[in-house]
Amino acid sequence: MTENTPKGDRIAKVLSRAGIASRREAERMIEAGRVAVNGTRITSPALNVTEADKIVVDGKEVGAPERARLWLYHKPSGLVTTTSDEKGRETVFDKLPEDMPRVMSVGRLDLNSEGLLLLTNDGGIKRKLELPSTGWLRKYRVRVKGAPKDDQLEPLRKGMTIDGERFQAMEVVLDRQQGANAWLTVGLREGKNREIRRAMTEIGLHVNRLLRVSYGPFRLNELKPGEVEEIKPKVMRDQLGIELPQGHAEAKSKPKRPGARKLVKKPQGGGKRR
């Protein structure tokens, strides 16, 4: 690092780490004049800040970032996955418990979709989990109208192009017929807008229920609609490489050296060895 390199981190990165918004959204907030640093409103994200700087967003001071955290949320149908909606519809953030900190969603589920949605207070985690290179499998339970045959689903497994947009191959299993509907399990590794619904429509099927049951190693399990469950720090370390917070029991203990031998106390009172 040279002496001419500004100290600190870019303002958008700091806002992202503090759980205010993703880095890109933070840049838009700055350009809209919603952010002030040390009493001066800024309109360009080309600024580095340190812990000594006072940052205010929409009139509220931004505190020091918390440790990175991640939650599972069972999104009910009928909520939009945005912080605000131009049509005045309720958002997932309107329905979160009052004691939740400010969080961002990892990807989205559309209005009529339900199931597992990951929430985080850390923009770095959000970006990492959304990157196509992460490639985590996302599984859905999908109910469609009609009685599809297995060969009808084959185009989904091979990948398809819809309106000039290429969709990767999906994992599709026909589970069971239930009256006038059929249940499928669908797995995909990308998250394009309304991808499953559009693909099903393309092969002549109408989706009337879509429930995400897993996102990589994280599963919905028995979480009920509207419920939130925080991921334990140890799981975040194992799955995401996030360091354990200071004071955590496992963070204190030192790992044993490979091949280290356990010391055995000698018997006291002059006892003889056998």
d(CA 231, CA 57): 28
Residue 163 is a catalytic residue? no
* Residue 35, helix vs strand vs coil: strand
Pair 75, 112: CB distance under 8 Å: no
Pair 81, 75: CB distance under 8 Å: yes
* Residue 118, helix vs strand vs coil: strand
Catalytic one among 110, 122, 163, 175? Answer: 110
d(CA 29, CA 23): 10
d(CA 15, CA 9): 10
Pair 105, 81: CB distance under 8 Å: yes
d(CA 115, CA 74): 5
* Residue 49, helix vs strand vs coil: strand
Q: Alpha carbon of 262 to those of 100, 191, 259, 267: distances in Å?
A: 45, 50, 9, 16
Residues recognised as catalytic: 110
